[in-house]
Amino acid sequence: MTTDTPAPGDTINGGVALVRALELEGVDVVFGLPGGATLPIYDPILDSSMRHILVRHEQGAGHMAQGYAHATGRPGVALVTSGPGATNIVTPLCDAHIDSVPMVCITGQVPYAAIGTDAFQECDTTGITMAVTKHNFLVTDAADIPRIVHEAFHIATTGRPGPVLIDIPKDIVDQNNPRSAMQWYEAGDSDMELPGYRPAGAGDPEAVRAAAELIRDAVRPVLYVGGGILKARAAEVLREFAELTGIPVVTTLMARGAFPDSHELCLGMPGMHGNYTAVTALQQADLLVSLGARFDDRVTGRLDGFAPDAKIVHVDIDEAEIGKVRTVDVGVRGDAKLVLEALIECTREMGIESQAERGAWRSTLSGWQERYPMFYEQSQPGDLLKPQYVIEQLRDSNPADTIVASGVGQHQMYASQYWKFDYPYTWINSGGLGTMGFSIPAAIGAKVGMPDRRVWAIDGDGCFQMTAQELVTATVAKIPIKVALLNNGYLGMVRQWQELFYDERFSGVELGADVPNYVKWSEAMGCAAIRVDSPEEVAPAIAKANEINDRPVVVEFRTDPQENVFPMVPSGRTNSDVVVHPAQRGE
Amino acid sequence: MPHNRFHTIVTTVENKPGVLARVAGLFSRRGFNIASLAVAPTDDERFSRITFTVDVESAPLEQVVKQLDKLINVVNIRELDPQSSVDRELMLVTVEVEEGHRGTILELVDDYRAHVLSENHSKMLLSLAARPARLDEFEELLRPYGIVELQRTGRVALPSLEENS
Both A210 and A170 in one domain: the answer is: no
Residue A162 belongs to some domain of the structure? yes
Q: Inter-chain contact B17–A138, Cβ cutoff 8 Å? A: yes
Q: Which residue on chain B is closest to A317 by alpha carbon?
A: B70
Query: Quick check: is A269 catalytic?
Result: no
Which of the residues A64, A134, A170, A269 is marked catalytic? A170
DSSP-derived letter for residue A226 is -
A367, A410: one domain: no
pLDDT-derived band at B1, boundaries 50, 70, 90:
very low
d(CA A532, CA A536): 9
Q: Domain residues for A167?
A: 11-191
Q: Which of A182, A254, A466, A493 is an active site residue?
A: A493
Q: Are residues A407 and A281 in the same domain?
A: no
| Interior/surface letters A280-298, b for 16+ CB within 10 angstroms, e for the rest | bbbbbbbbbbbbbbbbbeb
Question: Would you list the domain boundaries of chain B?
Answer: 6-82, 86-159
Question: Exactly one of A23, A50, A121, A369 is catalytic; which is it?
Answer: A121
State how many domains chain A has: 3
**Nearest CB to B67 within list A135, A196, A320:** A320
The 3-class secondary structure across A170-209, one letter per residue, is HHHCCCCCHHHEEECCCCCHHHCCCCCCCCCCCCCHHHHH
- Of A371, A405, A426, the last residue of a domain is A371
Cβ-defined contact of A320 to B72 (cutoff 8 Å): no
Its ipTM equals 0.89
| 8 Å CB contact of A135 and B18 | no
| Cα nearest neighbour of A160 on chain B | B70
Q: How far is A446 from chain B (nearest CA, A)?
A: 29
Which CATH number covers residue A435?
Answer: 3.40.50.970
Q: For a pLDDT cut of 90, what percent of chain A falls above it?
A: 96
* Surface of A (141-200) touching B: CB under 8 A: 155, 194-197
A400 and A519 together in one domain: yes
- Is the domain of A116 the same as that of A243? no
Q: For residues A430 and A358, state if they share a domain.
A: no
A323 vs chain B: nearest CA distance in angstroms? 9
Q: Are the beta carbons of A196 and B22 separated by less than 8 Å?
A: no
Task: Indicate whether A482 belongs to any domain.
Answer: yes
The answer to whether residues A396 and A538 belong to one domain is yes
Residue A585 belongs to some domain of the structure: no
pLDDT along chain A (587 residues), means of 10: 77 97 98 98 97 98 98 98 98 98 98 97 97 98 98 98 98 96 97 95 96 97 98 98 97 98 98 97 98 97 96 97 96 98 96 89 97 93 93 98 98 98 98 98 98 98 98 98 98 97 97 98 98 96 98 98 96 94 84
Q: How many CB pairs (< 8 A) connect A and B?
A: 38
* B interface residues, A as partner, C-beta within 8 Å: 13-14, 17-18, 21-22, 25, 29, 46, 63, 66-67, 69-76
Tell which of A191, A221, A248 closes a domain.
Answer: A191
Superfamily of domain B86-159: ACT-like. Chain A, domain 2 (3.30.70.1150)
pLDDT at B58: 78
**Segment 114-143 of chain A within 8 Å of chain B by CB:** 126-127, 130-131, 134-135, 138
A256 at the B interface (CB within 8 A)? Answer: no
Q: Let me know whether A130 and A232 are in one domain.
A: no
**CATH domain B6-82 topology:** Alpha-Beta Plaits (3.30.70)
Chain A nearest C-alpha distance from B71 (Å): 8
Alpha helix locations (H) across A468-530?
470-476, 492-501, 518-524
- What are B70-124's pLDDT values in tens digits? 999 999 999 998 888 999 999 999 999 998 999 999 999 999 999 999 999 999 9
Look at residue A586 and tell me if it is in a domain: no
Is the residue at A428 inside a domain? yes
B164 pLDDT band (50/70/90 cuts)?
low
The residue out of A344, A371, A398 marking a domain boundary is: A371
- Which chain B residues are closer than 8 Å to A138 by Cβ? 17-18
How far away is chain A from the Cα of B163, in angstroms, using its nearest Cα? 24
What is the value of pTM for the model shown? 0.96
Q: Indicate whether A580 belongs to any domain.
A: no
Q: Same domain, yes or no, for A259 and A123? A: no
Of A51, A103, A40, the closest CA to residue A77 belongs to A103
Judged by CB atoms closer than 8 Å, whether chains meet at A195 and B75 is answered as yes
Tell me the residue length of chain A. 587
pLDDT value of residue B108: 97
Q: Do A196 and B76 touch (CB under 8 A)?
A: yes
Burial of A233 (0-12, 13-18, 19+ CB in 10 A): middle
SS3 assignment, position A361: helix
Residues found in chain B = 165
Q: Are A275 and A567 in contact (CB under 8 A)?
A: yes
Asked whether residue A247 is domain-assigned, the answer is: yes
A120 classed as catalytic: yes
Rounded CA separation A87/A82 (Å): 8
Query: Looking at the domain assignment, is residue A36 inside a domain?
Result: yes
Asked whether residue A23 falls in the same domain as residue A160, the answer is yes
For residues A393 and A523, state if they share a domain. yes
Instruction: Assess whether A493 carries a catalytic annotation.
Output: yes
Contact B17 A196 (CB under 8 A): no
Indicate if A174 and A244 belong to the same structural domain: no
